[in-house]
Amino acid sequence: MATGRDGPTVLIVGAGLAGVACGLALDAAGFRVRLVDKGRRPGGRLATRTSGGSPSGMGEDAPYRFDHGAQYLTARDADFRAALDGLVSTGSAALWTGRFATLTPQGLTPEPDAPPRYVGVPGMSQIPGQLAYDLDLALEAELSPPQRLADGGWDLGPFGRADLLLSTAPAAQTAALLEAAPALAAAAEPARFEPCFAALVGFDRPIELGADGLFVEDPEGLLRWVAVNGAKPRRPAETTCLTLHADPAWSAARLDDDPEILKHAPLRRLKELLAAGGGPALPAPAYHRGHRWLYARAVQVVAPRFDADAGAGFAGDWAPPDAQGSGRAEDAWRSGRALAAQVIAAGG
Ligand SMILES: Cc1cc2nc3c(=O)[nH]c(=O)nc-3n(C[C@H](O)[C@H](O)[C@H](O)COP(=O)(O)OP(=O)(O)OC[C@H]3O[C@@H](n4cnc5c(N)ncnc54)[C@H](O)[C@@H]3O)c2cc1C
């Protein structure tokens, strides 16, 4: 096992929860870790979008703020729960004790027993962002498929050289990145994702929907979930910011549609369902955007893997330990930890 700060150099692709979990564990074991992410912020699918506010305010004073990927995190795993509780104690996360309900055309049915649900504060991306704070992280840094060097390391182009290459990008992207390690690329390929279309709708005033997190049972198979972002801790209260998630099959059938046209259908459907169930009429939105998640939820998974001969490995919510998981953020964390354990056990 590597000790001190003289361990092997490791490049981790992706600063989502899997990459951050893996990076923290390897950093603690003395590996020299660098994370790269092509996004403008760390977090991957733990994502927050803001509109308005001061240019230097990092979105904290933005009147329109949406978590448009993962909505909340649940933690059965003790290690993940400890990491989240640590963030709660420093104010970067909180428990969302909102009113959860199922919405049908007949109206709202409150959820009887809610599990503890964690959210980032002031947005979901704060969770990986804070966890990765002390790691070496390059943003807006997209890695192209690298080649191996004669000495067994990896030629990472603009990112230099590393002894080990670990990818936490979604499975298809990982398979492409690891083309120089064909056995690993082949092991990633069976994983499958379903997409999700998200509509972000902002109103310039508070609106009472009767619940804060709405699981939708839509007979037309369009709408799946509605979140009232302002009901989460430390979000703007003077506006109403709704995240609408469409059904995966509905989203999959419209992958080529323009999100700015598609964004109208989930809102129209929400209005119909609210009207049918005696809910409020919604005014014209002040903010309305669409976002397509091509790789939203892993529905077919593989196990995380490190190949010492290839000097490479992969993790992600699509590669939970023992291939046991359901494509949740917790699986990404567990996968990143499991990959790090394999790397440490192999001595780098
Ligand atoms: C709409 C939606 C709703 C969800 N709801 C929930 C929920 O309520 N609860 C829950 O637990 N989970 C939920 N999830 C799932 C959860 O978000 C994921 O399980 C988790 O965030 C995955 O983390 P990850 O690190 O495996 O991958 P990601 O977060 O996808 O991170 C991978 C990172 O790799 C980067 N990357 C890819 N290719 C490259 C490259 N070539 N170079 C550099 N960087 C690259 C990407 O930019 C990305 O940041 C939801 C997801 C979506 C999309």
**Nearest atom in ligand 1 to 71's CA:** 8
Give the DSSP per-residue string, 76-104: -SHHHHHHHHHHHHTTSEEE----EEEEE
**C-alpha–C-alpha distance, residues 298 and 109, integer Å:** 28
Task: Delineate the domains of the chain, giving CATH numbers in brackets.
Answer: 1-46+125-190+301-348 (3.50.50.60), 48-123+192-299 (3.90.660.10)
For residue 2, what pLDDT is reported? 43
pLDDT tens by residue, the chain, 348 residues: 444 567 899 999 999 999 999 999 999 999 999 999 999 999 999 999 999 876 655 567 889 999 999 999 999 999 999 999 999 999 999 999 999 999 999 999 999 888 899 999 999 999 999 999 999 999 999 999 999 999 999 999 999 999 999 999 999 999 999 999 999 999 999 999 999 999 999 999 999 999 999 999 999 999 999 999 999 999 998 999 999 999 999 999 999 999 999 999 999 999 999 999 999 999 999 999 999 999 999 999 999 999 999 999 999 999 999 999 999 999 999 999 999 999 999 987
For residue 180, report the distance from its CA to the centre of ligand 1, in Å.
24
Per DSSP, 116 falls in state P
Q: Which of 38, 45, 76, 118 to mutate to test the pocket of ligand 1 (most atoms within 8 A of CB)?
A: 45
Under a CB-based contact definition with an 8 Å cutoff, are residues 117 and 88 in contact?
no
**Nearest atom in ligand 1 to 19's CA:** 25
Per DSSP, 142 falls in state P
For residue 53, what pLDDT is reported? 74
Q: Whose CA is nearest to atom 13 of ligand 1?
A: 70
For residue 280, report the distance from its CA to the centre of ligand 1, in Å.
33
DSSP, collapsed to helix, strand or coil, labels residue 171 as helix
For residue 57, what pLDDT is reported? 53
Of 92, 85, 95, which is closest to residue 129 (Cα–Cα)? 92
**Nearest atom in ligand 1 to 298's CA:** 19
Q: Which residues line ligand 1 (CB under 6 A)?
A: 13-19, 36-39, 44-46, 69-73, 142-143, 168-170, 173, 177, 196, 198, 245, 293, 296-297, 316-317, 327-330, 332
**Nearest atom in ligand 1 to 68's CA:** 1
Sign of CA dihedral 211, 74, 138, 38: negative
Q: And the tokens for 34?
A: 């660098």
For residue 276, what pLDDT is reported? 96
Under a CB-based contact definition with an 8 Å cutoff, are residues 9 and 163 in contact?
yes
For residue 168, report the distance from its CA to the centre of ligand 1, in Å.
9
For residue 261, what pLDDT is reported? 97
Q: Calculate the alpha carbon distances from 142 to 13, 38, 169 in Å.
A: 8, 4, 11
For residue 141, report the distance from its CA to the centre of ligand 1, in Å.
16
For residue 80, report the distance from its CA to the centre of ligand 1, in Å.
16
What are the beta bridge partners of residue 60? Answer: none
For residue 279, report the distance from its CA to the centre of ligand 1, in Å.
33
Of 14, 16, 11, 10, which is closest to residue 332 (Cα–Cα)? 16
